[in-house]
Structure 1
Amino acid sequence: MPLPPGWAWTRLGDLGNYINGRGFKKTEWSKTGRPIIRIQNLTGSGTSFNHYAGDLDAQHTVHSGDLLVSWAATLGVYIWRGQEAALNQHIFKVEPFINRSFLRHLIDYKIRELMSATHGSGMVHVTRSAFDELTVALPSLAEQHRIVEALEGHLSHLDIAVDGVANVKRRIRPLTDAFVSRITLGLPISINSRTAPSRDSRRLLAGLSSKRFDYELLPDLPHGWHWRRALDICDSISSGSTPKAHLMHPGSGDIPFLKVYNITQDGRIDFTNKPTYVDVETHENQLKRSRVRPGDVLTNIVGPPLGKTAVVPKQHSEWNINQAIVAFRAGPEIHPGWLALTLRSRFILEMLQRTAKATAGQFNVALSTCRELPLPVPPVTTQIELVAQADELLAMNERLTAQVASLSMRSQHLRQALLSHAFTGRLVPQDPTDEPASVLLDRIRAEREAQSGSKAGKARRAPRRPRKAAAADASPPPPPAATSDPATT
């Protein structure tokens, strides 16, 4: 693109000194000393720190206000606001040769180009050469200050709006969970609601025992509601099965085969996500016990997360499920919509989670546990009314979630547009009296060459001679040869 007046092309590596962090061994970790900054401490995905109590050179020491760039796993630009710390590998500490804030926003703007240059199949990373050689447009130093002032003014307003959207997003799921739990336990969902709890609600569980649940500790339900075991109100409760790989067909086939990722967090079946099919013969023979039909309620028993629940839709007359899913077929005393709602309830879900066995970070709930699970059951007419209310409020929740997602996407586009205007000379006007960026780059280059020359001179300093040689050199030199030519230097 044509450069604005006074701007110049350069490389990202010419605009600062980028110092990579140090690799700390586990044997060097300590409970005291400087915290070791890792990438997760910058991104917010991890809040705990390892510490280093040994001596640390200045280049690997980070102070509050230092500019850091993570160049592996998650690419990003950050300002450190903590105490004096140690810098871990895969993070650059940046010593800018230009305006610090301008360079921070410039790298942030160039993150997408850096991402396209990443390498690695596991933890992706940017090579140092790709980072240094990235071409950037540089304005004068005075314009850098003007750009930063204008850009940060716009971004501060945008950040306030983004924080507000993020706060709404954080509150949606807890509010939904609280609403579902209250409605399924018969608790009031408005100030004017009135319910009369009844101690008689556990009567139908009297004399029944369970190794996993204490039925006597279940809370009271409204009058006319009863706690019932799932096996007593469902016609069947069965888990799925997974055939051999060659019997599953991605993309197309006879019978749709559901996996946990096909059940969404908001209670739907999404078969557009990596659809898999099995043939009719496999469905009717090897997978006979895991067949499901429209109206069956599915929930996953392997997580995290647990509690993904949905009603099988009418798209197909029969479906099949894998071994991580349990199918509940409602009997005449319970409506499928109410059964799905109770299985999404935080109260019911927490009871299931307390029985789950954890192996290598994975939770597994037994099929027998699902059969003994106590569920709140009001009269069928009440179930239908409450399901209708829940559907209306959950639909409103989905619309709000969609609006939040749209606002988040718009804010990202707006941020990128602001950065684009800033670094293409369209955010603030150019001043013809500014010192051109080419002069600034020449000065940076001269200072770097002077520094490298000074270091090279120290490196070339002659070593000390042995004592015997020094003593021999101490004798007077021989007289010069008689010649009219000047001595050779």
Structure 2
Amino acid sequence: MTDLPDGWAMTTLGQLGKYLNGRGFKKSEWSDSGWPIIRIQNLTRAGGGFNYYSGPIEDRYKVANGDFLISWAATLGAFIWRGPEAVLNQHIFKVESYIEKKFHYYLVQHLLDDLMRSTHGSGMVHVTRQRFDGQPVRLPPLPEQRRIVAALEEHLARIMSSQQGVRRSVKRLDVLQRSLRQVVLCGGNPPPERLPHGWRWGKLRDVIDGVDAGRSFACHPRPARADEWGVVKVSAMTWGTFRPHENKAVPVDCPINEAHRIGSGDLLISRANTEAYVGAPVIVRDIQSNLLLSDKSLRLRMTAGIDKEWLLQILSSPFVRRQVSKRATGTKDSMRNISQKALLDVDIPIPPPGQQTVIASWLSEQLEGLKRMEAELGAVLIQGDLLRAGLFQAAFDGQLVPQDPNDEQASELLARIRAERAAAPPKQKTPSRRTRKELAAPPTRVTGDDYQQEALPL
């Protein structure tokens, strides 16, 4: 849409407010108490709590609950601060809007894709101030801005509520999948002392004829080409299906042991992985590359009469996964390892061979059905995102709410903004940090992360 709706005017983002950049707090200035310092991760909830500053601070750097903030480096985003009174770190604007604040907020959200395409830098990407201020925008009259905000929030709340319901359903599917494995493979949740007729308790070693371990290579960081050998990474065995592209190329001068070659039908285990995935099993369904076992992977060879698909499912069951996680060694914050002996000592319920095949086939069919349901729910979430994007487009094209000819024209609003800015006293030169009079920091600190960002439907 190129024509401006009645009463609207073209302007730029820089004309809509005053954008006050945060202060660069040095690490040496951090304290255990005082003002919480708002960093980008405190806005995005990427992790970590507050750092604090206990020195004097100018008003321009203070942030109150409800303030409009924009991060313009590393992560681009618009936020309504819902937290304690704090001070603002560099690379974040505090916005003093000349227009309806919530409209300004949603407008910046709508413009993020355009601004992202104009980022600079290879490390901490950022938008230049010139590009930010010069971003063209279409501005409606002030009363229409408020009508747009009201309509947006009404529709977005419905979309958010629907998507939250879908996400809850996805979580329930995950719980159902784990419960299904537990009940079908172990006879109950928790496993009963007396197993079904014909079943018996045993160890994993009772159904394993042998274990093949790979070796460590000094590899290239890239994946192997078609004419090269590759060593699988743990990520190839982490996600339930074998990912042959997750490998590292072996230098041509390294000796190759064919016994370590991975073949179609192999049942692999990640011997070393994070706590959640150590011991994760996969079956190699199809392989066309020259791939080798690594020192962090194991290949299990079943004894005669043991169904491989059943073994895959029992190794994936919550009952076995908990045992593997408990037996693994290493710190929780790093790679965990499980030895062959510890793995083979895992307790498992063993059904008769004929039942193994029936159980594995039925369970696989049910799990595939759950996967299809999950994919369908994922498609619904995508539709919600598309609907939200379309809603924003309609709002800022002037199609979400009707125009009112009685509204003051946006051009008049802009003229008044320009006049007020021109009449404002000239900006005073900022004195040195050592000499300027500043406000004292609050005497107490905010503990933990018991604050919440505005849960706006974006």
- Under TM normalisation by the shorter chain, which class is it? 0.7 to 0.9
**Once the 2 structures are TM-superposed, how far is the Cα of residue 358 of structure 1 from its aligned partner?**
3.2
In the other structure, the counterpart of 2:360 is 387
Q: How does 1:473-484 map to 2 (within 5 A)?
A: none
The range that moved more, 256-265 or 119-128, is 256-265
**2:300 is equivalent to residue 328 of structure 1:** yes
After superposition, give the CA deviation of every residue in 1:398-450 in whole Å (9 maximum; x if it has no partner). Answer: 11210121111111111111101111112122233322222222221222222
**Once the 2 structures are TM-superposed, how far is the Cα of residue 166 of structure 1 from its aligned partner?**
2.1
Question: In percent, how many aligned pairs have the same letter?
Answer: 38
In the other structure, the counterpart of 1:290 is 260
Find 1:339's aligned residue among 306, 311, 328. 311
**Once the 2 structures are TM-superposed, how far is the Cα of residue 113 of structure 1 from its aligned partner?**
1.2
Counterpart residue identity of residue 242, structure 2: I
For the structure 1 residues 458 and 51, does the alpha-carbon distance in structure 2 shift closer, same or farther, using more than 3 Å as the test? closer
Question: 8 Å contact 2:263–2:287 — kept in the other structure?
Answer: no
In the other structure, the counterpart of 1:117 is 118
2:372 partner SS: helix
Question: 8 Å contact 1:37–1:88 — kept in the other structure?
Answer: yes
Distance 1:315 1:456 in 2: 69
Distance 1:314 1:458 in 2: 67
Distance 2:354 2:290 in 1: 28
1:107 partner SS: helix
Distance 2:261 2:384 in 1: 45
1:36 partner SS: strand
For the structure 1 residues 364 and 130, does the alpha-carbon distance in structure 2 shift closer, same or farther, using more than 3 Å as the test? farther
Counterpart residue identity of residue 294, structure 1: S
In the other structure, the counterpart of 2:211 is 237
Q: How does 1:59-458 map to 2 (within 5 A)?
A: 59-187=60-188, 197-198=193-194, 221-222=195-196, 224-241=198-215, 243=217, 245=219, 250-253=224-227, 258-263=232-237, 265=239, 267-271=240-244, 273=245, 286-304=256-274, 305-307=276-278, 308-314=280-286, 320-354=292-326, 355-358=328-331, 361-451=334-424, 453-455=425-427
**Once the 2 structures are TM-superposed, how far is the Cα of residue 239 of structure 1 from its aligned partner?**
2.7
Based on CA coordinates, which of the two structures has the bigger radius of gyration? 1
**Once the 2 structures are TM-superposed, how far is the Cα of residue 84 of structure 1 from its aligned partner?**
1.7
**Once the 2 structures are TM-superposed, how far is the Cα of residue 243 of structure 1 from its aligned partner?**
4.5
Counterpart residue identity of residue 208, structure 2: C
2:18 partner SS: strand
Distance 2:9 2:221 in 1: 61
In the other structure, the counterpart of 1:204 is none
Distance 1:79 1:399 in 2: 38
For the structure 1 residues 316 and 124, does the alpha-carbon distance in structure 2 shift closer, same or farther, using more than 3 Å as the test? same
Question: 8 Å contact 1:296–1:312 — kept in the other structure?
Answer: yes
Distance 2:264 2:252 in 1: 17
Distance 1:28 1:288 in 2: 59
Counterpart residue identity of residue 213, structure 2: S
**Once the 2 structures are TM-superposed, how far is the Cα of residue 256 of structure 1 from its aligned partner?**
7.5
The range that moved more, 241-250 or 29-38, is 241-250
**What number of residue pairs does the alignment pair up?**
427
Counterpart residue identity of residue 105, structure 1: Y
List gaps (5 residues or longer) in structure 2: 432-458
Question: 8 Å contact 2:182–2:189 — kept in the other structure?
Answer: no
The range that moved more, 30-39 or 64-73, is 30-39
Question: 8 Å contact 1:250–1:274 — kept in the other structure?
Answer: no
Normalising by the residue count of structure 2, what TM-score does the alignment of the two structures yield? Answer: 0.82
Question: 8 Å contact 2:233–2:246 — kept in the other structure?
Answer: no
After superposition, give the CA deviation of every residue in 1:102-144 in whole Å (9 maximum; x if it has no partner). Answer: 1111001011112222233344333333322221111111221
List gaps (5 residues or longer) in structure 1: 190-194, 199-220, 460-489
Counterpart residue identity of residue 238, structure 1: D
Q: How does 1:16-95 map to 2 (within 5 A)?
A: 16-46=17-47, 48-95=49-96
After superposition, give the CA deviation of every residue in 1:317-371 in whole Å (9 maximum; x if it has no partner). Answer: 9853333322212222532112211222233223323323138733333344334
After superposition, give the CA deviation of every residue in 1:171-222 in whole Å (9 maximum; x if it has no partner). Answer: 3334323432343332169xxxxx8623xxxxxxxxxxxxxxxxxxxxxx55
Question: 8 Å contact 2:69–2:92 — kept in the other structure?
Answer: yes
Counterpart residue identity of residue 364, structure 1: N
After superposition, give the CA deviation of every residue in 1:274-297 in whole Å (9 maximum; x if it has no partner). Answer: 677889998xx6132322333321
Counterpart residue identity of residue 366, structure 2: L
Question: 8 Å contact 1:299–1:343 — kept in the other structure?
Answer: no
After superposition, give the CA deviation of every residue in 1:353-400 in whole Å (9 maximum; x if it has no partner). Answer: 332313873333334433444433222223223212321221122112
Question: 8 Å contact 2:223–2:249 — kept in the other structure?
Answer: yes
Question: 8 Å contact 1:106–1:423 — kept in the other structure?
Answer: yes
